[in-house]
Amino acid sequence: MLKIKKMSVWAALLAFSVTAFSQASGVVQEIKENMIKVDGGVFTMGSSGSENNESPVHEVSVRTFSILKTEVTQAQYKAVVGKNYSHFKGNRRPVEEVSWYDAIVFCNKLSLASGYKPAYSLNDETDPEKWGPVPRIDASSDSKAIWNSIKCDFNANGYRLPTEAEWEYAAKGGKEADDAIYSGSSSVTNVAWNADAIDGETHSVGLKAPNSLGIYDMSGNVWEWCWDWYGNYNVNDSDNPLGASKGVTGRKIRRGGSIASDAVFCRNTNRASTNPEVRGVDLGFRVVRSLDVLKSSGSSSSYSDDGILFDDDDDEPVMTGR
């Protein structure tokens, strides 16, 4: 009888493993098929008539990359990571309650499952399983400092977070850019789930109108993590800028606004930032892949902005669920 019970347990574990593998394989293919190519080019980044941290307006060049046409969903996140921290549950809703660190882990795990070279490394190791526990808000400063040293190989073909410049370029439509205030329209209700919605919850991805590239929800629904550390714009760093030195603020860029955001925070040019260990019920991400290699790769750009730093102009804090 005991032998039969053991066999039953092993059979159940095997069935679970097969199901998990099948789900992960399906998500790998789904994400591959939903990546949209964004041809590189030069665009005007920033705004002169809005928040101080959006200026100066300057020209920036980005190389060709691909971007997921929706925010990463809860079903996709769970299939790759095995967990779903989200507050507003729903397979097709964007994953939230994910820190910047969580997003980095997802990217590398998805890359490994896809057979791509992971973009991120910690102490020269690309397997997140060997990085140790993901730091939370109450983690030690030493633990956070270690994870803040994560490097990005922009020549790798694996999944990663967009740089802030890539995010804004894609939100504006890339080479098909128009003068729309939000991603795809100058009417926030056409393209964004934001504070104007009655229920105050996230919604399934892809229900609002896309922008000219066919990308959904870059305005509203959930804020989206970017690679960059937050800092003032540097007009001399205009070729694929990778953000400020981490010593400037210790915060990572988030873009696009959310279900809790007034329209002003859903604009293509709006900039906000949060500590990388923070989770929020309106904070998620989407992924990109490099399709054209950079001249060099590294964890940050070559400059450090030691001048006056404008305060983060997003007056609404991330809605922390726990």
pLDDT over 70 percentage in the chain:
84
The pLDDT score that the predictor gives to residue 255 is 98
Over 50: is that where the pLDDT of 306 sits?
no
| Element containing residue 28 per DSSP (H, E) | helix 2-33
Of 161, 155, 165, 173, the closest CA to residue 39 belongs to 173
Over 90: is that where the pLDDT of 174 sits?
yes
- At residue 138 the predicted structure's pLDDT band, cuts being 50, 70 and 90, is very high
Average pLDDT, the chain: 87
- At residue 178 the predicted structure's pLDDT band, cuts being 50, 70 and 90, is confident
Over 70: is that where the pLDDT of 2 sits?
no
- At residue 249 the predicted structure's pLDDT band, cuts being 50, 70 and 90, is confident
E strand residue ranges, 192-318: 223-229, 252-255, 272-274, 283-284, 288-290
The pLDDT score that the predictor gives to residue 176 is 79
Mean per-residue pLDDT for 117-143?
Answer: 97
Distance CA 66, CA 264 (A): 27
Mean per-residue pLDDT for 148-167?
Answer: 97
Mean per-residue pLDDT for 16-36?
Answer: 77
Q: Work out the number of other CB atoms within 10 angstroms of the CB of residue 235.
A: 14
Distance CA 78, CA 83 (A): 5
Of 44, 79, 10, the closest CA to residue 172 belongs to 44
The pLDDT score that the predictor gives to residue 304 is 30
Query: pLDDT per residue over 269-278, tens digit each?
Result: 999 999 999 9
Mean per-residue pLDDT for 233-250?
Answer: 85
Query: pLDDT per residue over 32-72, tens digit each?
Result: 999 999 999 999 999 988 788 999 999 999 999 999 999 99
188/3: higher pLDDT: 188
221: left (phi over 0), alpha (psi -120 to 50) or beta: left
The pLDDT score that the predictor gives to residue 248 is 77
The pLDDT score that the predictor gives to residue 295 is 55
The pLDDT score that the predictor gives to residue 17 is 41
